[in-house]
Structure formats: C-alpha cells, structure tokens
C-alpha cells in the first residue's frame, strides 16, 4: 500500500530535476502521473521531445503508471490539455504540481526584455495557467490539491530580478488561490525547495554537490531530498494544510511566514511630510529588514532532540 494509491495528477517540468524525482516518488507511492515536459535547456531554449517519455519509461520499469506529454506551460491551451489528458486517462485529477522552470540570470541594468519575459512567462504565467486549469476541474470534483513551487530567491538575489519577481509572485498567488478554492475542498500550498540540480549547476561559481559531504543542518541536498514534501502535500494526510509555503532541502524543513506588517505607528489626521521626516527615523531606524537572501537568519529546531524528550 502506498500513500498515494488511487491518486492521479499532473506535474509540469517532470522529466528531470526536482519534479522528475517527485514524479518517481509519487508513482512509487501508487499515484498515476501525467509527465508534462517540453524538454528545454535550462535557459528555455531548444526542445527534446524524448525527455517526458524517458521519465515515463523509468516509472513504468519500476512498476508505476505514467503518461508522457510534451507541453509548453506558457500556452494556456496547452495547460488545459495537460489537465484534460489526466481526466481522460485516469478519470480525475487529485493533484497538480506546477514545477516547470527556467533561468536567464543577468544583472538588472543588463537584462534584456527577452530574459525578463521568458522567465516570467514560464514561472509566473505557467503556474497561473496550469493552476487555473486544475482549479476548474477540481472545483467541479469538490476535491484536489495544487502545489506551486517558489524559491528563497523571492527574498532577492543578485542577477535574478526576473526569477526573484516570479517566485515572489508565485508565493502570493498561492495565498490568493488558497483563499478562493478552500470552499471547494481544494488545498493550495507552495514548496520552497533547495537542491543541487542542473539549474543550480548553471550558476557561475557553484561547485558540484557531494551528498557525502553535506554538513549537519544543511539546506542544500538532492532532488530526492525534496520529493517527499510534494508527496506528503499531495496526500490525504495533508488536507489540513492550505495557503502555506513550506521549505525543504537537505536536512532543513521550514514553515515560512506570510508577508505582514512588522510595526505600525498611528497619528490622528494622518502624517504630513514634516511628520514623516520625524517619525520614520525615530521609529524605523535600526529596525529595517535585511535585503537579499544572503541576509536570511533562521530559528532552528532539532527535530530528533525534541522527539527524544517526549
């Protein structure tokens, strides 16, 4: 018996990387999976039509069930077809994982329109198109789970104005979709993965990841380290979770906090320019948020130590 026996769903970008490892695990846990992958290079160029079918062949060789589909998630009709393929093949759609992604890194002042638009199209539009198609089917069914994919880059990373913007947008979309779809019994969450994949390897200065040298508490691991979170969120055991961003990578599992006011001051009749010149330095100085993902600090809990005390 697998955790996902009887479930069926779609995963975009599932021919390789984190989504590919996720497809392997979901199928091993009993799910029927539509593998939607255009087979493009990291920057979104080219197309290898064999990528999706090769992943299906691997899953079937391991005893699982899957269907291959070459689909461009920047095309709304293609995303409708991804969902319809699942409905036609397996009779329903229990989960949709929007994991397709590309990178076109460049410093802001040098970033071209094409580098900006390409990343926004695949990540932000691709997430919207596939989530919308899945939501329409799930609303009729009155059940289902949508899992988007965000990134720590939403905090801001040099050379990734396009990617950071798209991933921050995906997190906010997740919150909104969860609010809208809860009345239909549909859960929406976002996974923030951290794993050494071909996308990470394409970033200049990145060293090849050696899992044998992974430091205790490391947030960087392999695609296989991340896949279990997708499997759990797609299962009935996670039906109590919606509207959340949950991170997993290496040995670190984290629940992310939603954007919110940090501190508030009020004044009757509002603030004039002179009021702001006094109030902002007096109140906010020394309390500004650090800028960029390199400035992130974490509150850590050692799960094994806590469990040992119970």
pLDDT in tens, 59-94: 999 999 999 999 999 999 999 999 999 999 999 999
- pTM of the prediction? 0.91
Catalytic residue among 163, 175, 232, 298: 163
| Interior/surface letters 190-223, b for 16+ CB within 10 angstroms, e for the rest | bbbbbbbbebeeeeeeeeebeeeebeeebbbbbb
pLDDT higher than 80, residue 95: yes
Contact 88, 109 (CB under 8 A): no
Contact 16, 227 (CB under 8 A): no
pLDDT in tens, 222-240: 899 999 999 999 999 999 9
Tell me the average pLDDT across 137-141: 98
Which CATH number describes the domain made up of 8-255? 3.40.50.720
Give the CB-side neighbour count of residue 3, counting CA atoms within 13 A. 14
Confidence (pLDDT) at 137 = 98
pLDDT in tens, 15-51: 999 999 999 999 999 999 999 999 999 999 988 989 9
* Mean of the per-residue pLDDT values of the chain: 91
Name the nearest CA neighbour of 231 among 28, 12, 93, 87: 28
pLDDT in tens, 155-176: 999 999 999 999 999 999 999 9
Task: Determine whether 163 is an active site residue.
Answer: yes
Q: How far apart are CA 141 and CA 125, in angstroms?
A: 24
Confidence (pLDDT) at 1 = 85
Confidence (pLDDT) at 200 = 63
Confidence (pLDDT) at 195 = 84
Residue 292 pLDDT grade (very low, low, confident, very high; cuts 50, 70, 90)? confident
Q: How far apart are CA 272 and CA 263, in angstroms?
A: 19
Residue 293 pLDDT grade (very low, low, confident, very high; cuts 50, 70, 90)? confident
Contact 188, 178 (CB under 8 A): yes
pLDDT higher than 80, residue 251: yes
Residue 291 pLDDT grade (very low, low, confident, very high; cuts 50, 70, 90)? confident
């Amino acid at each position: 018996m697998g955790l996902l026996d009887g479930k069926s769903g779609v995963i975009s970008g599932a021919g390789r990387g984190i989504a590919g490892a996720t497809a392997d695990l979901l199928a091993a846990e009993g799910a029927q999976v539509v593998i939607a992958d255009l087979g493009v290079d990291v920057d979104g160029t080219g197309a290898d039509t064999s990528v999706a079918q090769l992943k299906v062949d691997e899953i079937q060789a391991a005893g699982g069930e899957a269907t291959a589909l070459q689909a461009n998630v920047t095309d709304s009709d293609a995303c409708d077809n991804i969902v319809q393929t699942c409905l036609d093949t397996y009779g329903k759609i229990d989960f949709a994982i929007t994991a397709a992604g590309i990178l076109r890194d460049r410093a802001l002042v040098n970033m071209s329109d094409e580098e900006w638009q390409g990343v926004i199209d695949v990540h932000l539009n691709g997430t919207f198109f596939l989530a919308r198609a899945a939501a329409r089917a799930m609303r009729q069914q009155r059940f289902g789970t949508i899992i988007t994919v965000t990134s720590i880059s939403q905090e801001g990373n040099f050379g990734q104005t396009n990617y950071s913007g798209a991933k921050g947008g995906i997190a906010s979309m997740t919150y909104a979709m969860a609010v809208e779809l809860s009345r239909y019994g549909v859960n929406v969450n976002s996974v923030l993965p951290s794993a050494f994949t071909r996308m990470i390897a394409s970033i200049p200065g990145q060293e090849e990841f050696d899992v044998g040298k992974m430091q205790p508490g490391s947030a960087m691991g392999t695609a296989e380290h991340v896949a279990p979170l997708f499997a759990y969120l797609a299962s009935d055991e996670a039906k109590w979770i919606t509207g959340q961003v949950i991170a997993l990578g290496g040995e670190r599992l984290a629940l992310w906090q939603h954007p919110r006011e940090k501190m508030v001051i009020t004044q009757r009749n509002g603030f004039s320019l002179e009021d702001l010149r006094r109030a902002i330095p007096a109140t906010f100085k020394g309390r500004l948020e650090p800028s960029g993902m390199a400035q992130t600090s974490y509150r850590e809990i050692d799960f094994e130590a806590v469990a040992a005390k119970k």
